[in-house]
């Protein structure tokens, strides 16, 4: 908690919370957005939030799922994520049958689809679609500060003259 300057919270999610599933839009929309926001808000107080998506059996699936998928097999991961020495925050981990994998976001390099001093057009988007979707040399943004749209953009001459007019009008 804030007074102790240490807390670890491990949330669980269904695979639908990551990948989506028919009829579960509300669940999918809420789960990871909440987890990411809590990780950001808690970080300054050493409060870490991580999410695991276990593949596990239950009493409903015990006749079709092998014992290696019992939920207790995930405890070592939960214990590590809960440990004071664990610095993982905002992590999303899939776990099942003794396997653990971490998921992350990736972004293509993208492509500028407008000509100088002009707007975008659907035709320009279509023409550059392969470049927009090319994940060669992809980046891995971890938070909003990694968003290319929040980075400074070199002003065009039009922008510079418009900025001058705005700044000098009283």
Residue 137 burial (10 A CB sphere; 0-12, 13-18, 19+): exposed
6, 19, 27, 164: the active-site residue: 27
Q: Which helix (H) or strand (E) holds 54?
A: strand 47-54
Asked if 88 and 50 touch (Cβ cutoff 8 Å), the reply is yes
Pairing of strands 99-103, 7-12: unpaired
19 in active site: no
CA contacts within 13 A on the Cβ side of 76: 8
Q: Where are the alpha helices (DSSP H) in the chain?
A: 16-19, 25-42, 75-82, 122-132, 157-168
Catalytic residues: 27
């Amino acid at each position: 908690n804030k007074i102790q300057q240490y807390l670890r919270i491990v949330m669980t999610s269904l695979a639908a919370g990551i990948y989506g599933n028919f009829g579960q839009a509300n669940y999918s929309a809420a789960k990871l957005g909440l987890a990411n926001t809590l990780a950001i808000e808690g970080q300054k107080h050493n409060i870490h939030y991580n999410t695991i998506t276990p593949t596990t059996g239950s009493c409903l699936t015990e006749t079709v799922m092998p014992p290696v998928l019992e939920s207790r097999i995930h405890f070592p991961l939960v214990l590590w994520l809960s440990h004071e020495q664990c610095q993982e925050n905002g992590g999303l981990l899939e776990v099942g049958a003794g396997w653990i994998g971490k998921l992350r976001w990736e972004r293509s390099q993208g492509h500028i689809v407008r000509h100088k001093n002009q707007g975008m057009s659907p035709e320009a988007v279509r023409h550059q679609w392969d470049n927009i979707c090319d994940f060669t040399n992809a980046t891995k943004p971890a938070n909003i500060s990694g968003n290319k749209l929040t980075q400074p953009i070199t002003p065009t001459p039009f922008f510079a003259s418009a900025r001058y007019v705005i700044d000098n009008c009283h």
